[in-house]
Amino acid sequence: SLVVVLLPDSGRGYLSKVFNEDWLSSYGFIQGDTEQTIGDVLRAKTLDGDLPDFVHTHPTESVADAIAILKEYGVSQIPVVRAEPPIMTAEISGSIVERVVLDALFHGTAHLADQVETVMSPPLPMVGAGESVASAMIALTEADALMVVDDGKPTGVITRQDVLAFLAT
The whole-angstrom separation of Cα 18 and Cα 10 is 12
pLDDT digits (tens, 9 = 90+) for 48-65: 777 888 999 999 999 999
Q: Which domains does the chain have, with CATH numbers?
A: 34-168 (3.10.580.10)
Q: How many residues does the chain have?
A: 169
Confidence label for 35 from pLDDT (cuts 50, 70 and 90) = confident
The model's pTM is 0.77
pLDDT at 93 over 70: yes
Rounded Cα distance between 138 and 146, Å, is 11
**How far is the CA of 124 from the CAs of 4, 50, 93, 109, 121, in angstroms?**
47, 22, 10, 22, 8
Q: How far apart are CA 79 and CA 56, in angstroms?
A: 5
